[in-house]
Amino acid sequence: MHSTIIRILIFSFCGLGLTGCNSFEKPVSPFSMTNELVVITVEYTDNFYIDDEGNFSGITYDLVHEFAAEIGLEIRFVVKSEVESALTALQKHQAHFAIGLDIPEEQASRFVLGPVYLHTHHQIAFNAKNAEPQDIQKLIGKQIEVPNGSTHEKQLQKIKLEIPELSWSAVTLSSEALLAKLDRGDIAYTVADSLHIKKANHFYPRVKGAFELDSSVSRWIFPKFTEKLLLDKVNMFFERIMHEGVLGQLLDSYNGQYHQLSPGDIYFFKKKIQSKLPGLKSYFLQAERLTDIDWRLLAALAYQESHWNPQAKSPTGVRGMMMLTRETARRMKVKNPTESRQNIVAGARYLKLLKDKLPESVLEPDRTWMALAAYNQGYGRIIDARALAKRFNLNPDLWIDLKKTLPLLNKEHYSNTIQYGHARGDEAVTLTNSVRAYYEILKNVAGEDS
């Protein structure tokens, strides 16, 4: 990704009666004459939100960020409370384009639609303590909450035309907050993106997805008579990120780890967080200070390797919390591999060594994911996987492409043609995805100051 050039972020909740809305009533300057890109969205959209650390995040946000960096403009976001008000403002050219809106089919002809970059499935979410609903009729008379003005509310409104008995509450909460309420049993059902439900299940094991209501696509929406210059630049941008694998990398960065752990994995990990992590956290924090690697990532790696068991040992002699080989322990000057502090610090230093060894062209977060794979199978396997990526016209600097070539290392057809030979590359992919999943859970339940 390009470095950020966003210096101004202005949120206008005009639909909520707040002040400062008049400045957005005028049409924006034409794209060819402006120094800022004005983008309109709605308050509750699944792929544009404020993350746990208070930063703007989401696939849609990152795409706009990347596009603005490419064309050299600042960004000003205008946030409306409902889709209708956002579309009305867009139709009046009060923004250059809109994001995060699921435009009704009957209104599509009023706008210019950009390329599709994401397909979304919307599901009924329920609490696993209760029976799974089999159809929409089972929801009649039940407590349902959805974000006010969201795509999910629009879907229920369509269904209500055929099933008038259906009712729900539209609330000023995000999908993430509603899924948390669902886990606590405070509501019976909500509607959410299937990927959000999968992600929520890592933090809230009782949250499950039932039947699918509908599907939709994500794309940017432009006013009629938008300048051809802007549309051309947008089309070129999406062609580039699709061809270079940037879009796939971005999707993987948000969703790639959410298919790795079973409910049992998550349950036992959370139990260990309560029982074992408090006694180990100071060691992980010390390792973070020495290596500048997030202690939660190191803790996730240690759990994947040993389930935080300092006495862990494999038949090949790999030992300790971070499962160090004899050679790595000797290289990191570990005197007692079963002593937790020594083992954790040594494992962190070795991971940093692997990260530093990768070519400068490998950027974060791909650098970290590749280093984790190297931690599992050795740095030479990354060299071989990168060579295969080049052979298949993939990008050797992207983890999403190395995930495709690493499993080929244990196939004789390929292993006989590479420098380091046969390896269990699929295990490296599994470890990396598992560590990423455990890391996301730790970021949610064990924050920086916890």
Residues classed as catalytic: 305
Distance CA(23)–CA(431), nearest Å, equals 51
Residue 21, class by beta-carbon neighbours within 10 Å (0-12 exposed, 13-18 middle, 19+ buried)? middle
Structure tokens at 265: 């994995």
Beta-carbon contacts of residue 38 (< 8 Å; ≥ 6 apart): 28, 75, 76, 78, 94, 95, 96
Q: Is 201 helix (H, G, I), strand (E, B) or coil?
A: helix
Structure tokens at 307: 């389930």
Peptide bond into 365 cis (omega under 30): yes
Distance CA(365)–CA(440), nearest Å, equals 13
CA dihedral 80, 86, 88, 93 (to 10 degrees): 100
| Contact by Cβ (8 Å): 225, 165 | no
| Contact by Cβ (8 Å): 170, 147 | yes
Please identify which residue in the block is written with the tokens 């890109």.
Answer: 37
> How many CB atoms within 10 Å of residue 245?
16
Q: ∠ at Cα 171 (165, 177), nearest 5°?
A: 115
Residue 180, class by beta-carbon neighbours within 10 Å (0-12 exposed, 13-18 middle, 19+ buried)? middle
Nearest one of 122, 117, 118 to 136, comparing CA atoms: 122
DSSP 246-276: HHHHHHHHHHTTTTS--HHHHHHHHHHHHHT
Long-range contact set of residues 332-338: C-beta below 8 Å, sequence gap at least 24: 338/310, 338/311
Distance CA(353)–CA(293), nearest Å, equals 11
> How many CB atoms within 10 Å of residue 327?
9
